[in-house]
Copies of this chain bind each other. A is one copy, B any other.
Amino acid sequence: MAAYYSQELHGPFETYDLGDFELENGAKIRKLSLAYATFGTLAADKSNAILFPSWYSGTSKILELAYIGAGRALDPAKYFIILVNQIGNGLSSSPSNTPAPFGAGRFPQPSIGDDVRAQYRLITEKFGIERLALVLGGSMGAQQSWEWAVRFPGAVARVAPIAGTARETAHNRLLVESFIEAITSDPAYDGGWYGEGEVHRGLRRHARLFALSGFTQKLFNSAGWSSLGFTTTDDFVTGFVENHFLPQDPNNLITLLNKWRGGDVSQHYGGNLAAALGRISAKTHVIAIEEDVFFQLEDLAAEQALVPGSVLKRVSSPWGHLALFGVDAGYNAAIDGLLTELLALAA
């Protein structure tokens, strides 16, 4: 797994050392390191910075490949784009790269809020940025985007949470628990004290559950995966989804899943979601994938309705939630259009 979380596969990336970092639950991460990659040049007035945190089981690399480029909405010729790796993803401080006694099965459990607090220090201390032109992210990246807009309203000019909620629904918690259980129920997991590669059965089980609702039923029933060169349902699930998760560290995934499960911008506002979302002053595009089973349109719409002056935007893809990966040209074009529109708004 050391080979997987490498500059060769996921770089180039840099790291910022935040020193000892106290988490919201009172635990402490020693020498917290945030890994990030930047594209473009920060304007002299620092008005063109975009922050894009990573999603579950992804790194800054997939964000770069799927969303950044000349002529895209996130064009390095115009913007200074910071792709930041969330805590626990294997590039930033994680169970897999933290030395004993606090690594592996003893890594402290961070929250979405901890990520955003750490990222705030990165953009202010490292880059001297006081206000981001845009914060965006998909899935767990959307959870972080929501948290940014609620917690630091003055620092976020625009925000685009994509395919993710501000507060976990009951069903999504149950779904995430099934992912956690799929890995931890493997006897080889052994409370987090496994050897490299030993938890492959749990990772494969998790991958298949992830595929079942990460994509749409139509993608399977119409063999939509054939566009990627796969030959059967099983060939696709093994070759694409198991292949994605097998090289990853189980403790990292569990850390991320627990963080995902706990996502809730209202927790510092007495559980009052309307009060929390009412704090948002950013121009807000809530972007839903119509076919998304992980984060359903109606749940995103209910949250969007609580954000002053926000707009609900819909995109459609037979790939469902995992259109986020950039595998659907139609989705990519639609997202670019929506982000370009949002970036053009005065804020």
Contacts from A to B (Cβ < 8 Å)? 169-171, 173-175, 177-178, 181, 185, 187, 201, 205, 208-209, 211-213, 217-218, 220-221, 223, 233, 237, 296, 298-299
Residues of B within 8 A of A169 (CB): 217, 220-221
How far is the CB of A43 from the nearest CB of chain B, in Å?
Answer: 43
CA A173 – CA B223 in complex, angstroms?
A: 13
Other than the given A171-B217, A185-B185, A217-B299, 8 more pairs (CB < 8 A) read A171-B220, A173-B233, A174-B220, A178-B208, A185-B201, A185-B205, A212-B213, A217-B296
> In the docked arrangement, what's the CA distance between A171 and B209, Å?
12
Please tell me which one of the listed residues B177, B178, B181, B208 contacts residue A181 in the complex, with CB atoms under 8 A apart.
B208
Known contacts A187-B187, A201-B185; decide if A170 and B221 are in contact (CB<8 Å).
Answer: yes
- Rounded to whole angstroms, the CA-CA distance of A181 and B209 in the bound complex is 11
- Which residues does chain B contribute within 8 Å of A181, judged by CB atoms? 205, 208
Out of B208, B237, B299, which one reaches A221, CB within 8 Å? B299
Contacts of A187 in B (CB 8 A): 187
Q: Bound state CA distance, A178 and B207, in angstroms?
A: 11
Number of copies of this kind of chain in the complex: 2
- Enumerate chain B residues within 8 angstroms of A296, measured Cβ to Cβ: 217
Interfacial chain B residues near A223, Cβ < 8 Å: 170
- Which residues from chain B contact A205 at a C-beta distance below 8 Å? 181, 185
Q: Are B212 and A174 in contact (CB under 8 A)?
A: yes
Which residues on the B side are within 8 Å of A177 (C-beta)? 208
On whether the beta carbons of B221 and A174 are closer than 8 Å, the reply is: no
Query: When chains A and B are docked, how far (Å) is the Cα of A217 from the Cα of B172?
Result: 8
Known: A185-B185, A187-B187, A209-B209. Contact between A233 and B174, CB under 8 A? yes
- Interface pairs (27), CB distance under 8 Å: A169-B217, A169-B220, A169-B221, A170-B220, A170-B223, A170-B233, A171-B212, A171-B217, A173-B233, A174-B208, A174-B211, A174-B220, A174-B233, A175-B212, A177-B208, A178-B208, A178-B209, A178-B212, A181-B205, A185-B185, A185-B205, A209-B209, A212-B213, A217-B296, A217-B299, A218-B298, A221-B299
Which B residues lie within 8 Å of A185 (CB)? Answer: 185, 201, 205
Q: How far is the CB of A319 from chain B (nearest CB, A)?
A: 13
Q: How far is the CA of A205 from the CA of B220 in the complex (A)?
A: 24
Distance of A220 Cα from B175 Cα, bound (Å): 11
Question: What is the chain B residue whose CB lies nearest that of A208?
Answer: B178
* Interchain residue pairs A-B with the least CB separation, the first 9: A171-B220, A171-B217, A170-B220, A169-B221, A170-B233, A170-B221, A171-B221, A178-B208, A217-B296
A175 CB contacts on chain B under 8 angstroms = 212
Closest to A225 in B: B170
- A201: chain B residues at CB < 8 Å are 185
Contact B213 A174 (CB under 8 A): no
Taking the closest CB of chain B, its distance from the CB of A53, in whole angstroms, is 25
Per the bound structure, the CA–CA distance linking A298 and B237 in Å amounts to 23
